[in-house]
Structure formats: structure tokens, C-alpha cells
Amino acid sequence: MKATPVLIPDHHRPGPLLPAALFLLLVLVAGLPAPAWGQSPRWQVDVSGSRLQLDTLEAMNAPSLATSLEWQGAKFLSRVGGSLTGFQNHGWSAQGRGDLIGWLSPAGERNPARIELSGGLAGSRHSSGFDSYMGRADARLHLVGRSVGSWIGAGVASARNAFDTAAVVSIAPSLGLWARLGPLRGTLSYLDTRLEGERYPEGNFTLTYSRTALDVTAFAGYRQSPFQEVDPDSWAGISAAIWLQPQVAVVLSGGRYAPDIVQGLPGGDFLSLGIRYSPRRSRPLPPATPLPLVFSSEAARSGEITFALKGASTVEIAGDWNGWQPVPVSRDRSGRWVVPAGIPPGVYRFNLRVDGERWVVPEGVPQVDDGFGGRVGLLVISAT
């Protein structure tokens, strides 16, 4: 299946069922209360200008506005997002996407095996009347460690666009490896997409770096076509977010992105410069994250969450739930430090300040990167 141009006449459009389902998903996810979904939603807004060269059109300038919203729970991640782009002399384009990812531990929390289940809906619309929509579902088996991991799985997707009255269905077995060394994380994956009786084997590599005020992501990929007359697709690019303040970053990116063979969308070259605003710069927890401590909401309400710290005279606690404002912590009769009562259910990063000077993570508490080169603890308050 070859990539198709973006522009078509107004009169040829698919039915309303899939766009209605996408809209319903966004409404349901956005309407769920934060306590049921874990920590407070994290959102960001990007305003950017790009120079695009699509495979089917000449080079053009394209200002865009993109937003995203995500919820993180102890064993799930939910994202919704959308963007609006204006094309020089070619109208505008709108995109939307919603994803829900969950992780299970069928062999127990201490076993390295994890099952990932995910699903999503995506759609796009051009001012010319061109539409494309896709729904997908994936399942993966992960083996995870503190610094390395692997997975094997498969996904199924169904898509249609305004050039085709019938939906196409693809099946894609996949496997991958990842490794982490300090602020660096690399992922290597193989995907064997089966579409309309043809195979499209594909390899991808991603490298991310995150430290202090810099986030960098570099990617590269290659896809073989089953048709001898069609050249293989290859792509590569890099994106860097430079955080001028804790909530504001300059984002630069450039390279080439891959054609979407399932939706029938073309690839292209891009160069972009923009501004990102996010009130809380945090990162989703992958299935490889060390297992957090899980406490019940009853324990949180009654003040039964305690930590042991040796040689501390005074202790303060700060975390996601209180805007990282240090709050004094008292001791119980056994000498353990008691976390203040009333923390609502959710997934939280936190840290303890000892004697008004040094920040520490208590022993036995999983640690994650705070996004600025340091480490913080991970705490989960379960609603049940």
C-alpha cells in the first residue's frame, strides 16, 4: 500500500462512525476525576513554526499549535492530544489521538515479567476534505530489569482514509531491546507489518538523553517494501528541548519522518522551532521502572506511612501532591518519621529534606530520575 497525497475533493469522505468513537474516547478520558486515575494530569502546549517538504507536495511553511494531556497511575498511562497546523497555500490540517496503556504482573510484583496491554484511536482531517482514521490494539510480554529489558508482542490495527471506502487491517508482530545508562536510554525494535497480504519489515532505533535543562531524542528507521519497483523507506531525526525555566522550553527538531503505510499518509522532511509550556515537567513511568511502594488510602488518611532515617534531627517532605513545598514530618513512638496524613490516591514523586540541608530518598524506596540530573523517591497511594 503506497502513501497517498493529502488533498482530495470535498465530496469523498468516510462515514462518521470512527471519528465519533474517537471524540467519545477523548470526552470520557478527559472527564474522569484525577483521584481515580492517579496523580494530577500533566499537560503541555507547543507553539511552533516548521518548514515541511511532504513527499506529495512542494516545500511549505507550517505554523502549528499542539496540546497533550496525560494521567499516570500505578499500572497505567493514559494520553490524549491534538494539533492544528496551517499549510502555506494548502489550507489546514487537524489531528487527534487517544491512548490507554496498562501493565500487569501475572507472576507477582517481584518477578521481572510484565504484560503490557494498550489501545488507541487516531484521526486527521485536512481542509480539502481528506480524512484518515485508525484504531489499534497491542499486547507485549516484557522482561524488565533496572538497566536492561526486552519485549515480544503483536499488534492489530484498522484504518481507512478518504480514498478508500473499505477499511484495511494490519497485523504486526514485534520485538525489542532497551538499555539505560545514567541519563541515556536506547531502544532497538523490529516490526513486521502484514498489510493486504504483503510484508513490510521495519527496524527502529531511538536514543534519549535527559539531564538538568536538556531533553534530547534522536531516532532512525528503515522499512523494506514488498514491491521491487518501490524503494525502501528510511528516516532519521533529532529533537531537543532546552528548558529556560522549569515550565518553559525552546524546542528544536529536524529530520525526516516515515510514511504511515496503514493510514496511507506520506512521509516528509521537516525543520521546526517552537516554544513548549508545561506546568509539571515529568516523565511517564515505563514498565521497567522499579516497583513503587504501594499504600492504601486508609493508611494515608490515618498517618500510618512511615520511614526510617538514621541520624536525622528534623525532616521535611515535599512531593507532587503539595507542589514540592517542604512540610515538617513528626516521629512516632518507635522513632520512625510519619508522612503527613491526607495524601489523596495517586502516583507521586517525593523527597525528604534532612536537617534543613540535604535531600535524601529513604532506604528501600525505588528511585527515579527527577528530570534535572537528580533522584527522587516513588510513592503510590492506592484508592482501594
Whether 322 shows a pLDDT value over 90: the answer reads no
Which tops the pLDDT comparison, 344 or 368? 344
- Of 130 and 17, the one with more pLDDT: 130
* Residue 72 confidence (pLDDT): 67
CATH code, 17-277:
2.40.160.40
pLDDT at 291: 52
Cβ within 8 Å of residue 349, ≥6 positions away:
282, 319, 320, 368, 370, 376, 377, 378, 379
Q: Quick one: average pLDDT of 135-153?
A: 90
283 pLDDT more than 80: no
Question: Which residue, among 320, 355, 325, has the nearest Cα to 337 in the 3D structure?
Answer: 355
Q: Is the pLDDT of residue 23 over 80?
A: no
CA distances in angstroms from 268 to 58, 159, 189, 214, 237, listed in the order given: 10, 20, 22, 26, 11
Q: How far, in Å, CA of 160 to CA of 168, rounded?
A: 6
CATH 2.40.160.40 positions along the chain are 17-277
Q: What is the pLDDT of residue 102?
A: 87
Please state, in angstroms and rounded to a whole number, the distance separating the CA atoms of residues 10 and 162: 10
Superfamily of chain region 293-382: Immunoglobulins (2.60.40.10)
Query: Where in the chain are all domains bearing CATH 2.60.40.10?
Result: 293-382
Least confident of 97-101, 144-148, 150-154, 216-220: 144-148
Using only C-alpha atoms, the chain has a radius of gyration, in whole angstroms, of: 23
**What DSSP letter does each residue of 290-310 carry, written as one string?**
PPPEEEEHHHHHHT--EE--T
